[in-house]
Chain A
Amino acid sequence: MSAPLLSVTGAVKRFGGVQALRGVDFDLKAGEIHALLGENGAGKSTLMNLLSGVHTPDEGEIRIDGKPVAFNNPREAQAAGIATIFQELDLVPSLDVAANLFLGRELMRPGGMLDVPAMRREAKQRLEAIELAIDPARLVSDLSIGQRQVVAIVKALSYASRVLIMDEPTAALTVGEVERLFDIMRKLAATGVGIVYISHRLEEVPGIADRVTVMRDGRVAGIAAPHAPQAELVRLLVGRPLDELYPERAKRAGKTLLSLKDASFRLARESAGWQPPSGITLEVREGEIVGLAGIMGAGRTELLSALYGTGLAGRWQGQVAVGGRPVKLESINAARKAGIAFVTDDRRGSGLMLRMAVGLNLVMSVIRRISPAGLMSPRRQAEAVRESFAQFDIRPKNPDIAVGALSGGNQQKVVLAKEILGSPRLLLLDEPTRGVDVGAKGEIYARLRALAAQGLGILVASSEMPELIGLCDRIVVLRQGRSVAEFIGGVDEHTVLAAANGREA
């Protein structure tokens, strides 16, 4: 048998005291789509960075066609035929497609003028080669995320054409776009390109991968066939059976906190890509954790932000009641007055003041309470901070360091603790464990369940189906902004997925 296109043996990588990779073997054959799965912190990004020349391994070897190679920078990896598409696409939105494809390698006319027609012609050919009809003269900012993804692929392949590494390429795509992307990947593989497909979405793997490598804690936890049972993959990913990750469910729920009956959110102005809630019926009771399931674009985030008044301008129609009383939830103030708190899915962008100290972040939602007569009370502030540190195991236990220096899991604990300090009755959570390692996930789940046991109602949106199934008492499924089904927690994943996709189970 010939040597694999790309292979890694015994890769070790340390960052300071942290050992990100502890001896990883990995290989990729020509024409293969090899999925690399792992929780955040499992080491898949580090492995990708070794392959793309961003980092060099401390130990171990990378081979191409059986020959050892060493990359000192991404350009050397490209020269060896390895192209990487990072999650943040390196496209310039204000330039057109052709200009992006030729960025840094512009075609020139004699005399130093840009040869725009030649670049557009060439760009058109390359796009058509993968059967994508995008006008090369269009601005990248006018393209959908899916189209941008494809432009990034074409650009990457024009630098290097043997190995394509894709980091979570489907994270921001709609279902249709995912299918189109997969088609393109299959076509590329058929021409002999080897593709490393990095993801944490189990459900996509059977549809695309030829082989699956699962990483955990800097090691390869196992290699599986793409059609291996989900439970098997989950066990490899998490390192323990699922039921130990999630706390026990509530014994009973209390009074109704939030009740929506055929409620719709009428936007003041239509907006493409923003799915307004239209015809939602759901209830959240005291002590209950209710999940919002649905495919990308089904309107989960939109429902939460419309309830909290942070989305687009508009007004609710139908019945919206909090604590049995009808309320107008159209502004942040109204929501907070009704005892609602919200944790966004974007803690760095809209959850935290990254450069400010942990303690200052923690008290942000209770500033009024700790500043009687407008003067900050250091004593009350310290009490509030102590309360948060006692409730959530935030590490390091130092409220004075900048919150941006914390790990993702600890940042998420700070965001949660911040809102809990405000003693809400109802907590809206959007993707509460995105970018959080498994250990912190378990802690967060346990904390949420404990808070619910004290009477808090929680409405949580998540794209991770196992999380919803494991954590929630009930799951409401959204499709195109509408609530279409409701299940009891612990339901089997396929049933929920079928409802989310509008199929019979």
Chain B
Amino acid sequence: MSDQKISVAASPAASSSPGAAARHRVDPLAIIVRFQSLIGLVLVAIGGVIFSPRRHGEILFLNPDNIANIVRAVSETGIIAIGMTFVIITAGIDLSVGAVLGLSAVVTATMMISGGFGLISTILAVLAMGIVFGVVQGTISTRFRLEPFIVTLAGLQAARGLALIVSGNQYINISYGDGPGLAPPVFAVLGERLFDNTVPVATIVFIIFAALATLVLNTTRFGRYVYAVGGNERAARISGVPVSMVKISVYAITGFASALAGIVHAGQFNFGSANDGMGYELTAIAAVVIGGTSLFGGAGSMVGTVAGTIMLGALANILQLNNITPATQLLATAAIIVLAAVLQSLVRRREGLGR
């Protein structure tokens, strides 16, 4: 559900029913679900402090370098999850995001190193490519009435294939300097930290993108249309909402987000590879769902997605600090996804909407 409240308190008609507020008390469970990822984030942070290894009395989990690592590590999947939130609120899904990230990283590296393109033209071209990729998927899905699951599954294969072709199945290493075959040194800033070497640049990109997306979703006509299409597509169409345009646009947004994440990826790791971003689609979907966005569409929030993303990163971090195996990390993530989904389903049943 959108966070917007509408007041009718000023109307004379509304003041005549003092009992209404009492009878329709907000379900505490609904509040938990609405803020489940924030609550989860706080719980994970507390757990992090408690279970963190210590060195000379210092809690390693709270070490500024460690925190910077957490928010840096989640920035790429976070950017993708932001885009994915739009798609999932329309009751769609985009499985191509990780592959488009890989393609974007490869194209970024190739354009700058072998193509001799400048920084700005490379970035603009890659972002445009991501948008076009999303528009094509959205158009195929709406024009031929195909499930986005299928269309973007095909898109995943296509993007990986294109990335292999462009890269020749090689790592494209990015070397910096002036001259042909070298990337402008400023591009390396994506792997650095700003403000006294504290805040990773990748995280700043993530936060700015999240802030813009929050504004678009909550304050614009387009954002309202996104909720409407997911809430009830037929009702939206009858009310004059341009449903196909909205759907194509949300896939353009995930395409853009994946390309942005791909550029950040290339800048952080100084190479592009066709295998980059493998499995990111699932991490992103998990973050969105943990963030309280419903896969049935019509309900969800950007803040939840951001909190869900950071929570997953923080959880992985604690487990790593304690030398717990990746296998256990996967199981812990699985448990949290199920818990988040169960909470949502309970609320739906309370509202008498789900069965």
Shortest CB distance B4–A (Å): 7
Instruction: Output the residue of B11, B13, B20, B232 with the most chain A CB within 10 A.
Output: B232
Quick one: CB contact mask for B232-271 with A, threshold 8 Å, 1 for yes? 1011111111000000000000000000000000000000
Please name the residue on chain A nearest to B229 by beta carbon.
A353
A368/B351 contact (C-beta < 8 A), A344-B238, A349-B234, A390-B11 known: no
| A109 contacts partner chain B, Cβ-Cβ < 8 Å | no
Query: Would B8 and A333 count as touching, CB distance under 8 A?
Result: no
| A405 contacts partner chain B, Cβ-Cβ < 8 Å | yes
Note all chain A residues with C-beta closer than 8 A to B296: 355
Query: Would B240 and A333 count as touching, CB distance under 8 A?
Result: yes
Query: Would A389 and B13 count as touching, CB distance under 8 A?
Result: yes
Instruction: Output the residue of B6, B11, B296 with the most chain A CB within 10 A.
Output: B6
Complex Cα–Cα for A332 and B243 (A): 12
| A399 contacts partner chain B, Cβ-Cβ < 8 Å | yes
Please name the residue on chain A nearest to B348 by beta carbon.
A355
Query: Would B219 and A375 count as touching, CB distance under 8 A?
Result: yes
Query: Would A356 and B23 count as touching, CB distance under 8 A?
Result: no
Query: Would A398 and B231 count as touching, CB distance under 8 A?
Result: no
Q: Which of A132-140, A243-251, A378-386 contacts B (4 or more CB under 8 A)?
A: A378-386
Complex Cα–Cα for A114 and B2 (A): 50
Q: Which of A154-162, A233-241, A358-366, A435-443 contacts B (4 or more CB under 8 A)?
A: A358-366
Q: Which residues A318-359 have CB closer than 8 A to chain B?
A: 332-333, 336, 342, 344, 349-357, 359
Please name the residue on chain B nearest to A337 by beta carbon.
B240
Please name the residue on chain B nearest to A354 by beta carbon.
B353
B contact residues, total (Cβ < 8 Å): 45
| B223 contacts partner chain A, Cβ-Cβ < 8 Å | yes
A396/B353 contact (C-beta < 8 A), A356-B227, A376-B220 known: no
Complex Cα–Cα for A342 and B234 (A): 12
Note all chain A residues with C-beta closer than 8 A to B20: 395-398
Shortest CB distance B219–A (Å): 5
A356/B299 contact (C-beta < 8 A), A389-B13, A399-B6 known: yes
Note all chain A residues with C-beta closer than 8 A to B220: 371, 374-376
Shortest CB distance B80–A (Å): 25
| A402 contacts partner chain B, Cβ-Cβ < 8 Å | yes
Query: Would A365 and B239 count as touching, CB distance under 8 A?
Result: yes
Among candidates B4, B224, B231, B234, residue contacting A355 with C-beta atoms closer than 8 Å: B231
| B1 contacts partner chain A, Cβ-Cβ < 8 Å | yes
| B222 contacts partner chain A, Cβ-Cβ < 8 Å | yes
Quick one: CB contact mask for B11-23 with A, threshold 8 Å, 1 for yes? 1011011001101
Please name the residue on chain A nearest to B12 by beta carbon.
A390
Quick one: CB contact mask for A403-419 with B, threshold 8 Å, 1 for yes? 01100000000000010
Query: Would A352 and B14 count as touching, CB distance under 8 A?
Result: no
Query: Would B221 and A367 count as touching, CB distance under 8 A?
Result: yes
Shortest CB distance A245–B (Å): 24
Q: How many A-B residue pairs have CB under 8 A?
A: 141
Complex Cα–Cα for A385 and B14 (A): 11
Note all chain B residues with C-beta closer than 8 A to A131: none
Complex Cα–Cα for A365 and B240 (A): 7
| B92 contacts partner chain A, Cβ-Cβ < 8 Å | no
Q: Which residues B292-349 have CB closer than 8 A to chain A?
A: 294, 296, 298-299, 348
Note all chain A residues with C-beta closer than 8 A to B23: 396
A360/B2 contact (C-beta < 8 A), A389-B8, A405-B351 known: yes
Complex Cα–Cα for A401 and B240 (A): 24
Query: Would B299 and A367 count as touching, CB distance under 8 A?
Result: no
| B31 contacts partner chain A, Cβ-Cβ < 8 Å | no
Among candidates B7, B227, B237, B294, residue contacting A332 with C-beta atoms closer than 8 Å: B237
| B228 contacts partner chain A, Cβ-Cβ < 8 Å | yes
Query: Would A364 and B4 count as touching, CB distance under 8 A?
Result: no
Query: Would A400 and B6 count as touching, CB distance under 8 A?
Result: yes
Note all chain B residues with C-beta closer than 8 A to A342: 238
Note all chain A residues with C-beta closer than 8 A to B222: 374
| B225 contacts partner chain A, Cβ-Cβ < 8 Å | yes
Complex Cα–Cα for A354 and B351 (A): 10
| A310 contacts partner chain B, Cβ-Cβ < 8 Å | yes
Query: Would A371 and B235 count as touching, CB distance under 8 A?
Result: no
Complex Cα–Cα for A364 and B239 (A): 6
Shortest CB distance A293–B (Å): 24
Complex Cα–Cα for A336 and B237 (A): 11
Complex Cα–Cα for A402 and B5 (A): 12
Complex Cα–Cα for A350 and B20 (A): 28
Please name the residue on chain A nearest to B353 by beta carbon.
A404
Please name the residue on chain B nearest to A405 by beta carbon.
B351
| B352 contacts partner chain A, Cβ-Cβ < 8 Å | yes
Complex Cα–Cα for A297 and B222 (A): 39
Query: Would B4 and A404 count as touching, CB distance under 8 A?
Result: no
Among candidates A332, A355, A405, residue contacting B238 with C-beta atoms closer than 8 Å: A332
Shortest CB distance B76–A (Å): 29
Note all chain B residues with C-beta closer than 8 A to A396: 17, 20, 23-24
Shortest CB distance A383–B (Å): 10
Complex Cα–Cα for A400 and B2 (A): 10
Complex Cα–Cα for A459 and B234 (A): 21
Shortest CB distance A182–B (Å): 32
| B10 contacts partner chain A, Cβ-Cβ < 8 Å | yes
Query: Would A332 and B240 count as touching, CB distance under 8 A?
Result: yes
Query: Would A355 and B17 count as touching, CB distance under 8 A?
Result: no
Residues of A within 8 A of B (CB): 308, 310, 332-333, 336, 342, 344, 349-357, 359-360, 364-365, 367-368, 371, 374-376, 378, 381-382, 385-386, 389-390, 393, 395-402, 404-405, 418
Since A355-B353, A365-B239 are in contact, a sample of 5 more A-B pairs with Cβ atoms closer than 8 Å, ordered by chain A residue number, is A308-B238, A310-B237, A352-B232, A367-B228, A397-B20
Q: Which 7 A-B pairs have the closest CB atoms?
A: A353-B231, A359-B6, A350-B234, A371-B221, A396-B20, A365-B239, A386-B11
Can you spell out 21 A-B residue pairs with CB atoms less than 8 angstroms apart?
A333-B240, A349-B234, A350-B232, A350-B235, A350-B238, A351-B235, A352-B235, A356-B1, A357-B2, A365-B240, A376-B218, A376-B220, A382-B6, A393-B13, A397-B8, A397-B14, A398-B24, A399-B7, A402-B1, A405-B351, A418-B239
